[in-house]
Amino acid sequence: MKSLKNKLRNNKLTVGTWVTIGHQSVIEILSTAGFEWITLDMEHSAIDYETAFNLIGHIQGNGMEALVRVSKNEEVAIKKVMDAGADGVIVPMIKNKEEAIKAVSYVKYPPIGKRGVGLSRAQKYGIDFMGYKKWTNNESVVIAQIEHIDAVHNLEQILNTDGIDGIIIGPYDLSASMGYPGEYERDEVKEALNKVVDTTIKMNKPLGFHVIESDYSKLEEKIVEGHTFLAFSLDFFFLGDRAREEMKKLNTNDKR
């Protein structure tokens, strides 16, 4: 299987999913579905650093790449998950080129970035720092989350930032930044979302989206639109939607 970095470089379709439940069983179950990568959500879940450290290893041990959506664009938050061995990060609320440069600098070592040196799982606990340094400069992934109207206005600069491998749209916060949280059908919000899609495709950059519904037809819509970096639903929707669907059948035909 080609690496995620290679697919992003060539703007090829790649599909992963999102995890908020901090247990290795969730990783092991999802690994049987064929996802190429899993994102651990440390911004909007109860997953803490120690849990993420362990789950990164389980993701990679089950043949997938491990991304982390960090809590914020902050040096310690990013370098700690990279030291834990993450293949890359999704950085929320990137609004301009300066913030994109900061995100990259927290992942890469000098002279490319300004990440401090620590020895942990990523560096094989001190015996392969030079190998890891080469890897992180060439293979680590940095995805900018576009979820503010300012980012829409500055999108070309963000996409052209060295070290940014692609973007992923955050539609909830984007609509909220315009004063209409969750109102995706408003003309103003649709116009902003369409601008992100059109600009990214025009620049031939990886266009990402998190399809929340556990419904393949929704994923297919995004593929047809030109999205190539796709997160397909998340753990609790895959679990809950199937349970609700089957129980609905029971309740509809209940003969008790």
Residue 105 lies in a domain: yes
Residue 38's domain spans which residues? 4-251
Residue 113 lies in a domain: yes
Residue 78 lies in a domain: yes
Residue 179 lies in a domain: yes
Residue 10 lies in a domain: yes
Residue 239 lies in a domain: yes
Of residues 23, 44, 148, 227, which has the active-site annotation? 44
Residue 102 lies in a domain: yes
* Domain of residue 139, CATH code: 3.20.20.60
Residue 256 lies in a domain: no
Classified as helix, coil or strand, 22 is coil
Number of domains in the chain: 1
Question: Catalytic annotation on 44?
Answer: yes
pTM of the full structure: 0.95
Question: Going residue by residue through the chain (256 aa), what tens digit of pLDDT does each one get?
Answer: 579 999 999 999 999 999 999 999 999 999 999 999 999 999 999 999 999 999 999 999 999 999 999 999 999 999 999 999 999 999 999 999 999 999 999 999 999 999 999 999 999 999 999 999 999 999 999 999 999 999 999 999 999 999 999 999 988 899 999 999 989 789 999 999 999 999 999 999 999 999 999 999 999 999 999 999 999 999 999 999 999 999 999 887 765 5
Phi and psi based region of residue 79 (left: phi greater than 0; alpha: psi -120 to 50; beta: remaining): alpha
**Cβ contacts of 192 within 8 Å, gap of 6 or more:** 149, 152, 174, 178
